[in-house]
């Protein structure tokens, strides 16, 4: 009996040795993919950066982040290149967007990729896209479902970011400029160095590194400040490594050259969908011929609302399905 116990104990120790060696190999071995994933994913959270800082020095983390970056195009959107209401398609993805009933305001498309799932909404009339903000902006945020329902919107996606110390922010303190109906609601510059994402009075998505006052002067009606920009004037950002943002739930707003607006949400942090990095987003957007596109706030804020119902699957860190209160979002009015 004692010999049998010794054999079991030896087997368990051997298994522990194999597991330990495997973990050490992944953390410190010659292949960098796991390190890049772990560091960039952990450091883009507020409450779980210890997953990286436990194993790597500050210098090592900074080095990894420097090697995984998004280099945006060095120019702003040329809105003269957007030609609203042209009708032709060049491939199956273009056809998927353009084939719809004449009276359809939008179309929902399921998105599936390598390890991720999500939804894309194609909005055929860009004049219907507006910005919605919390009634308590500056004090606390609201759930997107509630904001959309109160406005009578048929579709909604979350917008810009907010101060989220230790992952406990309530959406009340937005980061960066907010413009609604041609009025500046929030002047604070985004310390992350992101850019303005908004619609002009002639319903064209504009992406630019400009001030709030400059935005008003060129006719921006609704905008938030976030990023990075993923595609500008048809040219995609250069994503080095995984872009430095790791794998997370994602939200994106985009516009095709024919004026059709795209809302994209990718689920993450679950067994069914691990999330997307910046490379994944660019690939999806290029597939559906986005001409200008920008990353919106992600993580547990990523949500797509259709007819007052959340259709994606946002998860918090406790693995319970729920969203977060946020300061703003883009909605589609009927």
Segment 128-183, tens digit of pLDDT: 999 999 999 989 999 999 999 999 999 999 999 998 877 778 888 898 999 999 99
CA dist., res. 104 & res. 24, Å (int)? 54
Q: What is the pLDDT of residue 239?
A: 77
CA dist., res. 78 & res. 117, Å (int)? 32
8 three-state secondary structure: helix
Of 112-121, 188-197, 271-280, the least confident: 188-197
Q: Are 159 and 226 in contact (CB under 8 A)?
A: yes
In this prediction, residues 35-56 reach a mean pLDDT of: 72
Q: What is the pLDDT of residue 246?
A: 81
Q: Is the pLDDT of residue 45 over 70?
A: no
More confident residue, 19 or 228: 228
pTM (2 decimals)?
0.82
Chain-centre distance of CA 164, in angstroms?
Answer: 16
In this prediction, residues 20-37 reach a mean pLDDT of: 63
DSSP summary character for residue 300: G
Q: What is the pLDDT of residue 72?
A: 75
DSSP summary character for residue 80: G
Alpha-carbon distance values, 326 to 40, 75, 154, 312 (Å)? 24, 29, 18, 17
Name, in order, each residue with C-beta under 8 angstroms of 69's C-beta and a sequence gap of 6 or more: 239, 240, 241, 243, 244
Alpha-carbon distance values, 112 to 118, 119, 153, 156, 284 (Å)? 6, 8, 26, 21, 10
| Burial degree of 240 (CB within 10 A; 0-12, 13-18, 19+) | middle
Grade residue 22 by pLDDT with cuts at 50, 70 and 90: low
Cα torsion 53, 57, 62, 68: sign: negative
Grade residue 192 by pLDDT with cuts at 50, 70 and 90: low
Q: Are 132 and 329 in contact (CB under 8 A)?
A: yes
Q: What is the pLDDT of residue 151?
A: 97
Q: What is the pLDDT of residue 27?
A: 57
Mean pLDDT computed over every residue of the chain: 85
More confident residue, 88 or 254: 254
Q: Is the pLDDT of residue 319 over 60?
A: no
Parallel, antiparallel, or unpaired for β 195-200 and 238-239?
Answer: unpaired
């Amino acid at each position: 009996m004692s010999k049998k116990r010794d054999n079991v104990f030896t087997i368990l120790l051997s298994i522990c040795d194999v597991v330990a060696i495997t973990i050490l190999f992944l953390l410190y071995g010659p292949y960098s993919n796991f390190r890049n994933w772990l560091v960039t994913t952990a450091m883009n959270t507020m409450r779980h950066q210890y997953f990286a800082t436990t194993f790597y020095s500050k210098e090592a983390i900074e080095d990894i982040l420097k090697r995984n970056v998004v280099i945006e195009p060095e120019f702003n959107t040329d809105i003269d290149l957007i030609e609203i209401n042209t009708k032709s398609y060049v491939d199956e993805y273009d056809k998927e967007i353009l084939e719809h009933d004449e009276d359809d305001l939008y179309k929902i498309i399921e998105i599936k990729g390598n390890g991720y799932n999500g939804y894309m909404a194609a909005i055929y009339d860009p004049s219907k896209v507006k910005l919605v903000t919390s009634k308590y902006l500056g004090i606390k945020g609201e759930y997107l479902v509630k904001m959309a329902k109160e406005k009578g919107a048929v579709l909604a996606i979350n917008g810009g970011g907010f101060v989220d110390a230790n992952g406990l922010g309530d959406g009340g303190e937005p980061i960066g400029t907010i413009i609604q109906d041609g009025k500046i609601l929030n002047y604070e510059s985004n310390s992350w160095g992101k850019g303005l994402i908004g619609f002009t009075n002639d319903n064209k998505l504009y992406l630019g590194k400009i001030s709030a006052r400059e935005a008003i002067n060129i006719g921006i009606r609704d905008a938030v400040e976030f990023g990075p920009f993923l595609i500008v004037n048809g040219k995609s950002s250069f994503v080095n490594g995984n872009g430095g943002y790791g794998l997370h739930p994602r939200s994106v707003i985009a516009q095709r050259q024919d004026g059709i607006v795209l809302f994209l949400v990718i689920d993450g942090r679950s067994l069914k969908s691990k999330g997307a990095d910046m490379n994944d987003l660019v690939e999806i957007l290029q597939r559906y011929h986005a001409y200008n596109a920008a990353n919106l706030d992600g993580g547990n804020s990523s949500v797509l609302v259709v007819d007052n119902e959340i259709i994606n699957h946002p998860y918090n860190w406790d693995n319970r399905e729920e969203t977060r209160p946020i300061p703003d979002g883009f909605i589609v009015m009927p």
